[in-house]
Amino acid sequence: MTKPSEKSEGPVRGASRREFLRTGAVAVGALAGAPGAAQALEFDLESFFQKNFRELSDEEIDDVVKRLSRRYSKQYGAEVSVHATGPMDGVLYGYGLDISRCIGCRRCVYACVDENNQSRDPQIHWIRVLEFEREAIVRGFDLEDGNPYYDHEQVPAADKIYLPVACQHCEESPCTNVCPTGATWREPDGIVVIDYDWCIGCRYCMASCPYGARHFNWTEPSIPAEEINPNMHLLGNRPRTAGVVEKCSFCIQRVRDGRYPACLEACPVGARKFGNLLDSDSEIRTLMRTKRTFVLKAELKTQPKFFYFYG
């Protein structure tokens, strides 16, 4: 992996529209005689008037990041730092998964939940592991035969194979195409991200995704304060609200700092690989050359950046 290039931290701006809004909000709250309400209103107003992430200047992003760090630190009683680290030049992320190694233990699923601050109640899982009869590998995967709710004493169960599925980070991503507000898009390093403040929750992206990768917050998500991961990315694992869509971001808060995704580190059998597709010597490229490789639903021409190996 190449070295991370941190987005330079710009100077903190003085009084701005946001400051004005904050003052105004506090005034409204004071009138209502409810300091707590004023606090809530302050945040809501600032998020409410925030522009689409892609229209924010570096200074504005800096403001948002600082405001959210303050908010989450207070909310979860932890030293939360939200980042908006940008993409590195010359990097296109690719994920590899060796299904002949995968044992279906779902450690990746729960490592992902912990890392990415997914709701514990109701549970949201960005990774879904499907269990198939071993012969599926010969016939080709018929997804209707997959079972995501397998519950064995021990895995791998006899004559079963496992197919973990999460966001495939498609080059021709149907989800970003259909989004009416441009709240989701593909970054230059290939990561498909969501601006949670800009999403209106119409779920058109979910209808368009061929991989079931997108999940909706049907109600306010809940994460115990002691389980919060304080290392957050604005477009990744920061806490979401009710009514927005979320999904795997390749652990944007880790990989843009040169680390591996959490699911990869959690995998006990080394089935998961990650790297730079533009580097022909990278592990992922080497595996793509030497292993039998396929992508899910290739006929849809979505050009996933998530590759499955076998044999």
CB of 153 to another protein, least distance (A): 23
* Residue 29, strand partner residues: none
* Residue 209, strand partner residues: none
165-194 residues near another protein, rule: CB under 8 A = 165, 174, 177-183
What is the Cα–Cα distance from 7 to 234, expressed in whole angstroms? 13
Among 19, 121, 220, 227, binds another protein (CB under 8 A): 220
3 state DSSP class of 178:
helix
Nearer to another protein, 287 or 300 (CB): 300
109-168 residues near another protein, rule: CB under 8 A = 122, 128, 130, 142-146, 148, 165
Among 243, 265, 285, 287, binds another protein (CB under 8 A): 243
Burial profile 16-53: b = 16 or more Cβ within 10 angstroms, e = fewer? eebeebbeebeeebeeeeeeeebeebbbebbbeebeeb
How far is residue 86 from each of residues 56, 128, 239, 257, measured CA to CA in Å? 13, 28, 19, 10
Count Cβ atoms within 10 A of the Cβ of residue 279 and give its class: 0-12 exposed, 13-18 middle, 19 or more buried: middle
Amino acid symbol at 130? L
CB of 106 to another protein, least distance (A): 15
Decide if 173 contacts 311 (C-beta within 8 A).
no
Q: Is 202 an interacting residue with respect to another protein (CB under 8 A)?
A: yes
Max alpha carbon distance in the chain (Å)? 69
Q: Is 211 an interacting residue with respect to another protein (CB under 8 A)?
A: yes
CA-based nearest residue to 172, from 194, 189, 198, 190: 190
Decide if 212 contacts 126 (C-beta within 8 A).
no
Nearer to another protein, 234 or 288 (CB): 234
Q: Is 204 an interacting residue with respect to another protein (CB under 8 A)?
A: yes
Among 39, 210, 285, 287, binds another protein (CB under 8 A): 210
Q: Is 17 an interacting residue with respect to another protein (CB under 8 A)?
A: no
CB of 242 to another protein, least distance (A): 4
Nearer to another protein, 82 or 199 (CB): 199
- The site for another protein, by CB under 8 A, has a size of 49
Nearer to another protein, 183 or 255 (CB): 183
CB of 55 to another protein, least distance (A): 7
260-279 residues near another protein, rule: CB under 8 A = none
Residues sharing a CB contact under 8 Å with residue 147, sequence separation 6 or more, in sequence order:
130, 131, 132
CB atoms within 10 A of CB 292: 10
CB of 90 to another protein, least distance (A): 28
Nearer to another protein, 137 or 143 (CB): 143
Nearer to another protein, 176 or 229 (CB): 176
Decide if 197 contacts 211 (C-beta within 8 A).
no
CB of 236 to another protein, least distance (A): 19
What is the Cα–Cα distance from 284 to 94, expressed in whole angstroms? 7
Q: Is 295 an interacting residue with respect to another protein (CB under 8 A)?
A: no
Query: Could you list the residues that contact another protein (CB under 8 A)?
Result: 48, 52, 54-55, 122, 128, 130, 142-146, 148, 165, 174, 177-183, 198-204, 206-212, 214-220, 241-245, 300
